[in-house]
Structure 1
Amino acid sequence: MATINAELALKAAHSGNLEYFHHYEKTIQGGCHFNDFLSITHKKSGDSLLHIATRNGHLELLQYLYEHSGNLEIANFDGKRPIHEAAQYNQLKCLQYLLDNGAAVDCLKRADWTPLMLACTKKDVEIVKLLLKYGSNPALVNKDGWNSVHIACREDSIDIIQLLLESDSRMIDVRSKNGRTALHTAALNGCMNTVNYILQHSCLSVNEKDSCGTTPLMDAMRMGHLEIAKILIESYQADILVSDNEGRQAIHVASQTGQLEAIRCLIDKYNIDVNTATYSTGITSLHIAAKEGQCETVKLLLSYGADVSKTDCKSRTALDIARGARKQDCIEILVGQGPRNDHID
C-alpha cells in the first residue's frame, strides 16, 4: 500500500513536480486512493494542492489535479479559492483554465474580496480584462464598502481604473462604509496620477469629508505627500483651513505624524498660524506633537514661535500633556521654554 507523505506532496505542488503524482498513482494499492491527496492541506493556511499549483503557475499540475478531483471551488482557511490565487499572483494561463472550466468568477474570500479586487492590487491589465470578459462585476463591494475601482485607485493604476469604469463611470464616486472616497485613498497613498484623474473625471469635491471629517488634503499632509497637497490646494482650491470632526486642521494632522516639510510648507507658503487651536478641545499643533512624542516636530514648532504657555480646554500646556503621556524627550525640550501650568493628565 502506498503511504501518503503530506509534506512531500505539498512540496511537489509548490515546485510543479507532476512526476511525483504520476509515480504515486502507479503505486496505489489496497485502500489508498488518489483522492487522499486532495484532502491534503497546509496546516497554517489551509491551502490545498490546487491552491499551491495555481499560485505558482503550474498549469499542467493544475489540470492534472482538477481532472482527478473535479473541484475548483475548494477554499482555504481565508476563504480563498484557486481562482483568487490565479488573480492575485498574475497567473494568466491558470486563470484562463479555471474560468474555462466553470470556476465562479465573483466568489468571495474572507472580508468579501473577489478575484477582481485582488487582481486590482497587482496592476496586471490582462488579468483584469480576462475577469471582466467572464462577467466579473467591478461594482461589488467588500465588507468595508470598497469596490474594485477604489482598490485600483490605491495602486495608482490609471489603465485599470479606466477599464473598470467602462461599465459604469459612477463607481468612482462611491463611498466606503466610513464615508471615504477614492480621492481619499489616492491622496493617502501618494497616487498623484489618480488624484488628478479623479478630480477631472468624477463628481467628487476636493473637500470631500469622510465620517471623521477628514479631507483628502488632510490625508496627504498626514502621510507627507507634499506634492499632492500642493496640487490639491493650488490646482483644485482645497480648503486648507477646513476642520475634521475634532476640529483638527491640516497643520494638526501633519504635526501628529511628524511631517516636518509639510509643516514648513503650511507655515511658510500658506501662512498658517502655528498656534491655531482646534475649536473642540483647544489643542494646538504643539500639544499634539508633545503627546505623540514627535521631538523634531516640537523643536520645529518652537522655532516658528509656538506658544508654550497656550492651554487647551482642560487648562493643559504642551508640557503638561507631554508629562501625562510620559514623553521624556519632549518634556526635556519643553522645560524652560517659558511660563506654563503644571497639571498632569
Structure 2
Amino acid sequence: MAQLNNMLALVNVFYEAISNNDAERVEAILKYCRENHCCYYLDLDKAVCVAARNGATTVVEMIILGSRPLPSLIHTDETGKKAIHHAVLNGSLELVKILTRNGSVLNRCDSEGQTPLLLACNCGFTDIVRFLISEGSHVNLSRNHNDERALHIAAGAGHIEVVRVLLEESRANIEIQTLLLQGGMTPLHKAVRNGHLDVVRYLCEKGANVEARDVDNKRPIHMAIDTDAPQILQVLIDNNVDVNATDKFGSSPLHYAIQIKSLEMVKMLLETERVSLNQPNRRGDYPLHLAVARRSEAITLELVKAGCNIHVVSPNHETPLLQAASIGSYVIVDILLRQGANVNAQSNDRLTALHKIQYARCSREESDRIISRLLEFGAYINCQDSRGFTPLHSTACTCVMGQVVPVSSLRILIGAGAKVSHHSPNRNSPLCWLVWNGCFEAARFLVQAGWNLNQEDIN
C-alpha cells in the first residue's frame, strides 16, 4: 500500500512537471520508472496529450523517445482531441512534425469533426497547412460536422495565404459545396458572407463561380449586399455577376439593397444598367414598394430617376403612392406625385391616398401637409371606399381607434369641398363616433361647419 501511495504521488509530480514544462523533472521521473519497470503508472498516452496541449515540445519528444513501450498517439483526452490536434492549435510546426513522424494519424477527427488540417486552416497557420498537405492530409475529403472542407474554412476565416496554398499547392476544389442540409455553400459564399474582400477577389481571379447558389438559392451577390459590403459587391459586379439573380423568395439584389436601406449599393446596381427595376419578388413586392415601405426617400428618388414604373401595384392592388400615404411620408408622396402618380388610384377596398393618410401614424403637421398636397394634385374629396366612407368619414373614424381627431385635417377637407353630411354606411354617423369617443372639439367643429343635427338618429 505504501508503494502504491508513493507511485500515486510520483504520478502527480509527473503531471505537475508536464504542466510547468519542467523537462528536467519529467526526464528524471521517466528514467526512474524505466529503471523500475513502472512506466505504466504514468499513463503516457495521456501524458503526451497533456504535454501537447501545453505546447511543451521538448517534453513531448522526451516522452515519445524515452518511454518503453511507446505511448499511443491516438489517445483522446477529455476535450475530444488528440495530441496532434493540440499541437496544431498551439501553432507549433516543430511539435506537429515530431508527432507526425512518430505515428500520429493525420486524418483523424476530433469530437467536432476537425482534422489537424482543418484546424490549421481555421487558425491560419500556413506553414503547418503546407506541411500537413505534404504529408498526405486530405484536402477535399476531410470535412467537419458542418460539412466544411479545408477551403471553406480558410476562406470563411479570411486566411488568404492559406487559401493560396490550398489552391496552388494541393488542388483544392474551388467549387465544392457543403451539403444542402448544411447550407450548400461554396468557399466563395463563405468569404463573401464573412466580408473577406482579399479572399473574394482572389477566388474570383481563380475562376470561382460567382453564380453558385446555396440552399436558399442565394448567390454571393445576395450575401454581399445582405452583409453591407459594397467593396465585395463591386468585385462581383466586375466579374459580370447576374445583378437580377433571385433567391428562393424571388428577391433580387436590388430588393436586398433596398431592404437594408443602402443607397450606395442601390446606386452601384443601377450604374450597371443591367438591373430590372420592375421585377417583383414572389410576395409581389416591387423594388419601389419596398423603398417606400422602408421610408427611404433617397432610394425612392433614385429609383424614380432611373425610370421605374410608379404605377405598379402590389397583390392587394396598392400603388407606391397609396403605400406612401399609409406610412405618412410627405417627401415620398411629393416625389411620386411630381412624377405623375395617379392621385386617385384605389386599393382592393377602394381606398385612395386621401383615405389612407387619415389612418397614417404620423404627426398632425405631416398629415395635414400630405392632405393638402394630394388635394393640390386633384384628389377626389368625396370619393367613397368599399364601406361607403369618404375621406372626411375616415378622419372622424380614427377616434374609434383611440386617436385624437385633428380639427386641422377636418378644416382642410371641408375647406376643399368635403360634404358635411351625416350619411354613413351604418346607422351611426361620424358625429356620433366623435361624441361617443370624447372628441368634442372635432364634433363642435363639424356642427359649426354646417352639420345638420336634425338628421341625427337620437335613438
TM-score above 0.5, yes or no: yes
2:222 aligned to which of 218, 224, 230: 218
Q: Given the superposition, is the C-alpha separation of residues 267 and 196 from structure 1 closer, same or farther in structure 2, using an over 3 Å criterion?
A: closer
The corresponding residue for 2:443 is none
1:286 and 1:15 map into 2 onto residues whose CA distance is: 66
Superposed displacement of residue 39, structure 1: 8.0
Whether contact under 8 Å (2:14, 2:29) holds in the other structure is no
The corresponding residue for 1:227 is 231
Superposed displacement of residue 278, structure 1: 5.4
Whether contact under 8 Å (1:140, 1:147) holds in the other structure is yes
Whether contact under 8 Å (2:156, 2:190) holds in the other structure is yes
The corresponding residue for 1:152 is 154
Superposed displacement of residue 150, structure 1: 2.2
The alignment-based identity, stated in percent, is 21
The corresponding residue for 2:418 is none
2:11 and 2:264 map into 1 onto residues whose CA distance is: 59
1:107 and 1:82 map into 2 onto residues whose CA distance is: 11
Which sits farther off after the overlay, 69-78 or 19-28?
Answer: 19-28
Structure having the higher Rg: 2
Superposed displacement of residue 227, structure 1: 0.4
Superposed displacement of residue 128, structure 1: 1.4
- Structure 1 residues 302-317: aligned runs within 5 Å: 304-305=299-300
Whether contact under 8 Å (1:4, 1:37) holds in the other structure is no
Superposed displacement of residue 27, structure 1: 8.3
2:14 and 2:224 map into 1 onto residues whose CA distance is: 48
Whether contact under 8 Å (1:119, 1:128) holds in the other structure is yes
Q: Given the superposition, is the C-alpha separation of residues 77 and 277 from structure 1 closer, same or farther in structure 2, using an over 3 Å criterion?
A: farther
Look up the SS of the partner of 2:200 in the other structure: helix
The corresponding residue for 2:129 is 128
- Structure 1 residues 80-229: aligned runs within 5 Å: 80-142=81-143, 143-166=145-168, 169=171, 171-178=173-180, 179-202=184-207, 204-229=208-233
Q: What's the TM-score once normalised by structure 2's chain length?
A: 0.55
2:266 and 2:142 map into 1 onto residues whose CA distance is: 40
2:58 aligned to which of 38, 45, 60: 60
Whether contact under 8 Å (1:286, 1:298) holds in the other structure is no
After superposition, the C-alpha distances for 1:48-106 in whole angstroms (9 at most, x for unaligned) are: 44333223321121123334451111113453211112223211111111011011111
The corresponding residue for 2:249 is 246
Superposed displacement of residue 302, structure 1: 5.2
**Structure 2 portions without partners, runs of 5+:** 302-309, 328-359, 371-393, 399-459
Amino acid paired to 1:207: E
1:92 and 1:112 map into 2 onto residues whose CA distance is: 21
1:212 and 1:109 map into 2 onto residues whose CA distance is: 30
The corresponding residue for 2:357 is none
1:195 and 1:141 map into 2 onto residues whose CA distance is: 23
Look up the SS of the partner of 1:173 in the other structure: coil
Q: Given the superposition, is the C-alpha separation of residues 120 and 12 from structure 1 closer, same or farther in structure 2, using an over 3 Å criterion?
A: same
Superposed displacement of residue 157, structure 1: 3.4
Whether contact under 8 Å (2:27, 2:62) holds in the other structure is no
Superposed displacement of residue 6, structure 1: 8.4
After superposition, the C-alpha distances for 1:157-181 in whole angstroms (9 at most, x for unaligned) are: 3433333234663611211112211
1:281 aligned to which of 274, 280, 283: 283
The corresponding residue for 2:48 is 50
2:172 and 2:26 map into 1 onto residues whose CA distance is: 49
**RMSD across aligned C-alpha pairs, in angstroms?**
4.2
Look up the SS of the partner of 2:123 in the other structure: coil
Amino acid paired to 2:20: S
Whether contact under 8 Å (1:158, 1:193) holds in the other structure is yes
Amino acid paired to 2:194: N
1:112 and 1:14 map into 2 onto residues whose CA distance is: 27
Q: Given the superposition, is the C-alpha separation of residues 5 and 216 from structure 1 closer, same or farther in structure 2, using an over 3 Å criterion?
A: farther
Q: Which has the higher contact order (CA 8 A, sep 6+)?
A: 1
Whether contact under 8 Å (1:54, 1:91) holds in the other structure is no
Whether contact under 8 Å (1:117, 1:151) holds in the other structure is yes
2:173 and 2:267 map into 1 onto residues whose CA distance is: 38
